[in-house]
Amino acid sequence: MSDDPKLALIVSDSAKAQAGARSLRESQSWVSPQEADILVVLGGDGFLLHVLHEMLDWKFLKPVYGMNLGTVGFLMNGPHDHVSITQRIAEAHRVPVRPLCMYATNQNGDEFSFYAINEVSLLRETRQTAKLEVRINGRVRMEELAGDGVLVATPVGSTAYNLSANGPILPLGSRMLALTPISPFRPRRWKGAILPESAEVEFRIREPGKRPVAAVADQKEVRDVATVRIAARAERELTLLFDPGFTLEERIFAEQFQV
């Protein structure tokens, strides 16, 4: 009896991904995502994040091996070559990814909760500067942060929007979060903070009627928020698989030494 894991193939609807899937479909037997031990995802980073979010919603968490047949592919492996997919998966390194959970309350008192694998960001909705009170573990650390907004990023997300906002790149396994202001006006020289993953971050919107703010957990948006609380969820840990020498950690190192 074979000890190979049962694999499910999940493919983006892009023409490039669909074309790349044809030979894979013929290379071996595939099962449904529910039956599988490992999910093989073909597409780009956006599609991979979509699949990871669906797993969180489905409440079953399985290792994911991504193949880049999209645009960026930072979270993906290279396209398949002459090595079988089962061999590549057998040799792959496992990278744990702990999502954030955003708990948001809008100005009407409605409550929302969404997961974020990259980051949770708060953004001004109008030309008016956002003004936010920042609390860490229930203690006010900044009475007023004024600017375009602020974000909290995971190590995986630290090379995405967080890096564009001049936030720090966090090593995988650091169990840290990046708290990064977006175009801060006051305090003008504040560059943000690095927090332990165990920290609970809360934002309270000052003058919400005059200065409305939207909260975004990856792609899920809640407008006109009054408060936003963010906490990492260790019990919802995800697993990404990477080829040897093509690990996410190596790419994070490379980002830090670009000239």
Residue with tokens 């792609």: 219
3 in active site = no
Which positions make up the binding site?
Answer: 45-46, 50, 118-119, 148, 156, 159-164
**CATH homologous superfamily for 100-234?**
Probable inorganic polyphosphate/atp-NAD kinase; domain 2 (2.60.200.30)
Which positions make up the binding site for NAD(+)?
Answer: 45-46, 50, 118-119, 148, 156, 159-164
Task: Please tell me the pTM assigned to this model.
Answer: 0.86
Fold of 7-97+237-256: Rossmann fold (3.40.50)
Alpha-carbon distance of 48 to 127, in angstroms, equals 33
Q: What is the pLDDT along the chain (259 residues), one digit of tens a residue?
A: 357 899 999 999 988 889 888 888 888 899 999 999 999 999 988 899 999 999 998 878 999 999 988 666 678 888 766 778 899 999 999 988 999 999 999 999 999 999 999 999 999 999 999 999 999 999 999 999 999 999 999 998 998 899 999 999 998 778 999 999 999 999 988 999 999 999 999 999 999 999 999 999 998 999 999 999 999 999 999 999 998 876 666 667 766 676 5
Parse the chain into domains and list their residue ranges. 7-97+237-256, 100-234
- Which one from 45, 110, 218, 243 is the annotated catalytic residue? 45
